[in-house]
Chains A and B, each alone.
Chain A
Amino acid sequence: MGNEGGRNDATPILTLEELNRLREIAENARKNVIKMLFYDQTLHVGSSLSSIEIVTLLMFKYLRFGRDPLNRDYFILSKGHAAPALYAVMAEKGFIPEDELWKIQDISSILQGHPEIFIPGVDMATGSLGQGLSFGIGIATGIKMRGGTGRVFVDMGDGEHDEGEVWEAITHAVTRKLDNLIAIVEVNNFQLDDSVDSVKPKGYLPKVYEAVGWAVFEADGHDFVSLSEALEEALKAKRPSAIFARTVRGKGFPPIENTRKQRSSPDDARKHLINA
């Protein structure tokens, strides 16, 4: 577990004002993901709630948006089933109207069950696991060849690491010396059928990344300060970085929190939102 460079200045990584603002945005996004259950009961709410803080922090603090393809940042939600989290944060950002969120997966809505490239703010169509990192390597390589400053952030799941393409990608990234590529691996220990531990345990993953040649960091995936510290270090690293972010599936929604359950009833959602 590297701590390349280390932080020795006394400036807080986030001001109290920033922190409060991020928490407010994340809370809104979280509520909106839960509220989506009123309208559609097939969403991957549990996986989405695992990603809220990561997506919020990237969208509101780190990602530089713009039209110049070489001097902007990219965000790839490789765990595409967490699309509700992405959409909810994008609504906070103003990329899509909040009203659109309630139409998610409706035939008339732009918001598909998994991210599509035609949705404003989406940089890669995902939904089939294991593909985002390879795509990110392509973007990051192209940017570096042209001397751009753009960076690529790829959000992946732990279960997703069952896919063989991820191995192809992590071994590829280091050969390109991509210091503009950051992978965030959400460690929530759940995948579709069961816990990650009972399917194929993945405790070795950080060591694997490290052995392959990545700069590896750990963070609490629901804590903005911890995530920011890891991201600051990752951005300084002279090679591809991976942040293993411990998260909780269903975080903040007790009926499903830290269980394999992806969703609960609209009634549960209503009760929760009234009390929240």
Chain B
Amino acid sequence: MRDTLGRLLVELGERDKDLLVITADVGDSTRAIYFKEKYPDRYFNVGISEQDMVNFAGGLSIAGYKPVVVEFAMFLMRAWEQIRNSIARMNLDVKFIVTHSGYSDHADGSSHQALEDIALMRVLPNMKVIVPADPADIRRALPVVLEELKGPTYFRIGREYSPSITEGLDYQFKLGKGFVLRDGDDVAIMGAGVVLWDALKAAEELNKMGISAAVINLLSIKPIDEQLIEYYARKTGRIVTIEEHSIYGGIGSAVAEVVVKRYPVPMRFVGATTFGRSARSQRELLDYYGITWKSVVNQAMELMK
């Protein structure tokens, strides 16, 4: 995922000379470094100084540039108050692209695993939150985010682990729109990010048991596709959400807010409930914490009772 990001930033930087990339000493790990190799004058490593980085980016936007902050999801949270009080409060055109989200930094352990960031960003006025599923989703969404969207935006990706989920599908990214990866009548599985692979696998397994499951890629978490969520709440009467993030305040919560307002149906939440730990792979951690297709199947079966 991060390689796709690094290469795409270089392409977008070619098209838009006002695009600047700013990072806090994680250029290599995030692949922002590719941008530096091509456009050294438009690349800033401010050092290990996340708070300064955020306000620095805000100031650059005042001077007419389009700053893109590239940082680990975890360590951008250190500057949440700067994002809140400067960037979001002044509605500045600063884009935040975060890598290493969820358990994707599997080896480094809980200090590096961001499972709270969607909740923290979603709550901010003016902030938009985008969670692509895979490299194909990044290629669809990032050009729109950087070239068409105005104002603060949080774009969340992982690291290496990226099973193909949306490759070859022909939808276009649109802010506030979700996408149907698979239609179904009995239960709707909704989520965003790499765990949609588990959502699709769960739908296949449920199908074998005679249960027809829809899978929705929400992708635009804020604003969220209220119409699509309501449509599937009405159509299936049951929703299971899955996210590589805390179930408290995250994607499931965002879906629940829509569901209770527009068409209440029973829901179940698959996601994190506590801190992570070190492991040999991200997949291992998803399995360890039960953020898997099996959990989705079990929750869906429970809703079917």
Chain A residues engaging chain B, CB cutoff 8 angstroms = 69-70, 74, 116-117, 123-125, 127-128, 130-132, 134-143, 145-146, 148, 164-165, 168-169, 171-172
Contacts and interface: CB of A to CB of B under 8 A. Distances in A.
Given A131-B55, A134-B56, A137-B59, A125 B64 contact: no
B55 A165 contact: yes
Contacts of A137: 52, 55-56, 59
B51 A164 contact: yes
Majority secondary structure, B binding face: helix
B81 A142 contact: no
Contact of B56 (A128, A148, A171, A172): A172
A70 B52 contact: no
Interface stretch (B7-15, B82-90, B107-115, B280-288): B82-90
A113 B107 CA distance: 46
A271 B19 CA distance: 57
B59 A140 contact: yes
A70 B47 contact: no
B87 to A, nearest CB: 10
B63 A146 contact: yes
Interface of B: 41, 44, 46-47, 49, 51-65, 67, 81-82, 85-86, 89-90
15 contacts: A70-B64, A74-B62, A116-B89, A128-B85, A131-B51, A131-B55, A131-B85, A134-B59, A135-B86, A137-B55, A137-B56, A138-B57, A140-B59, A141-B56, A172-B47
A136 B82 CA distance: 14
A143 to B, nearest CB: 5
Contacts of B41: 145
Contacts of B47: 168, 171-172
B85 A125 contact: yes
A94 B57 CA distance: 31
Contacts of A69: 62-64
Nearest to B50: A168
Given A128-B81, A131-B86, A165 B62 contact: no
Contacts of B62: 69, 74, 123-124, 135, 138-139, 142
B59 A139 contact: yes
A124 B64 contact: no
A64 to B, nearest CB: 15
A172 B85 contact: no
B63 A143 contact: yes
A138 B58 contact: yes
Q: Which of A117, A134, A142, A169 has the most B CB atoms < 10 Å from its CB?
A: A134
B95 to A, nearest CB: 14
B59 A142 contact: yes
Nearest to A169: B52
Given A134-B54, A141-B44, A142-B63, 19 more contacts: A117-B89, A124-B62, A125-B89, A131-B82, A134-B51, A134-B59, A135-B86, A137-B55, A137-B59, A138-B55, A138-B61, A142-B60, A145-B41, A148-B63, A165-B49, A165-B82, A168-B49, A168-B52, A171-B47
Nearest to A138: B59
Contacts of B54: 134
A230 B60 CA distance: 27
Nearest to A131: B55
Contacts of A131: 51, 55, 82, 85-86
A137 to B, nearest CB: 5
B61 to A, nearest CB: 8
A118 B194 CA distance: 40
Nearest to A171: B47
Given A134-B59, A172-B56, A142 B65 contact: yes
Given A127-B85, A168-B49, A172-B49, A134 B55 contact: yes
B90 A125 contact: yes
Contacts of A145: 41, 63, 65
A222 to B, nearest CB: 29
Contact of A138 (B49, B63, B85, B89): B63
B56 A138 contact: yes
A148 B52 CA distance: 23
Looking at A138, A141, A142, which has the most chain B CB atoms within 10 Å of its CB?
Answer: A138
Nearest to A128: B85
A40 to B, nearest CB: 22
**Most chain A C-beta atoms within 10 Å of own C-beta, residue among B51, B52, B57, B82:** B52
A72 to B, nearest CB: 11
A140 B60 CA distance: 8
